[in-house]
Amino acid sequence: MHVNPLHPIFAAEILGADLGSPPTSELVATVHAAMDRYAVVVVRGASLSDDDHIRFSRAFGPLELPPRLGRPEPLKRRMRPELFNASNLDEDGNIIPQDSEKLKLAKGAQRFHTDSSFNALPTKWSLLLGHAVPPTGGDTHFVDMRAVYDALPGETKVRIADLVAVHDFWRGRERTGLTGVTEAQRASMPPVTHALVRTMPYGRKSLYIGGHAVGIVGWPDKDAMTLLDELYAFATQEKFVYVHKWRKADLVIWDNRCTLHRATPLESDFYKRDVRRTTIMEHGPERSADPVAA
């Protein structure tokens, strides 16, 4: 296996990894070391088997299972129920038009965010596998929030050191234009709080914000959003961003504790984009954040 950097600050690729067999201790150690250093790691040429994807993910932590979001469980699925669907395809594999009501909720992912910050679960990594990727469009952008924290002015670090942010999935989506959120949906994912600055297991500090951060405990809403928007603007400067251009069978792993990411729109409804995600937690048991399913 070879680990090659993809960006001056962070992000790397791993070549020569075999995900079609049970993960070896060497593979697990290589991925862990690469993630600690680079925070975003692309495993090239990964197996496209849902079973292999899930088995590999579980080598690094228990799965966070997809929630229902206040909706009944669909009767039909194209993939294993442990996987999150990040595709432009319906249950029959047909392309969903970009202006469809079905994709309105997904448009919020085009703002920089970190997966599951709106949950109280101990989120660790996300692992997104490209089964079918369009030749243009649909890139994913990543930000290294450790480097962002390091670059903050000293007075800002002092100001935010003990602050706690409010993360709310639905309010975050409403900021990007979503309307008509029901009380059942709000109840399915109530607001949670997380420290604005967190320390990684290996000692580096990281800024923990993003599109789901919509308040600061004890602060008026206006003041909180002013600070959060300032931090967001600072974090999303081009120098902190790695742009991932997808290849088929890329398995992109990112650390939700110290990165932000965003989807970019597809350029047409002509091409299928089939990408499937596991998200793992630091510790178990495996469960969904959905109170109904938990």
Q: Is residue 181 included in any domain, yes or no? A: yes
Contact between residue 205 and residue 198 where contact means Cβ atoms under 8 Å apart: yes
Q: Is residue 294 included in any domain, yes or no? A: no
Q: Is residue 8 included in any domain, yes or no? A: yes
187: amino acid identity, one letter: A
Alpha helix (H) ranges present in 152-204?
154-160, 169-175, 183-188
* Mean of all residue pLDDT scores within the chain: 92
Task: Give me the torsion for CA of 164, 254, 10, 59, rounded to 10°.
Answer: 120
Query: For the whole prediction, is pTM greater than 0.85?
Result: yes
| pLDDT level of residue 77 (50, 70, 90 thresholds) | confident
| pLDDT level of residue 70 (50, 70, 90 thresholds) | low
Cβ atoms < 10 Å from Cβ of 229? 12
Contact between residue 44 and residue 249 where contact means Cβ atoms under 8 Å apart: yes
Q: Is residue 150 included in any domain, yes or no? A: yes
Q: Is residue 183 included in any domain, yes or no? A: yes
Instruction: Give residue for tokens 């029901």.
Output: 182
What does the alpha-carbon distance between residue 205 and residue 203 come to, in Å, rounded to a whole number? 7
pLDDT of residue 65: 94
**CATH number (domain holding residue 231):** 3.60.130.10
| pLDDT level of residue 294 (50, 70, 90 thresholds) | very low
Copy the structure tokens of residue 67.
């929630």
| pLDDT level of residue 185 (50, 70, 90 thresholds) | confident
Structurally, the chain folds into a number of domains equal to 1
Alpha helix (H) ranges present in 39-118?
50-58
Structural domain boundaries enclosing 209: 2-288
**83 DSSP 8-state letter:** S
207 vs 265, which has greater pLDDT? 207
What does the alpha-carbon distance between residue 140 and residue 48 come to, in Å, rounded to a whole number? 19
Examine residue 285 and say whether the peptide bond preceding it is cis (omega within 30 degrees of 0).
yes
> Using CA of residue 12, residue 16, residue 20, residue 24, what is the dihedral sign?
negative
What does the alpha-carbon distance between residue 261 and residue 11 come to, in Å, rounded to a whole number? 12
Q: Is residue 293 included in any domain, yes or no? A: no
Q: Is residue 69 included in any domain, yes or no? A: yes
Q: Is residue 173 included in any domain, yes or no? A: yes
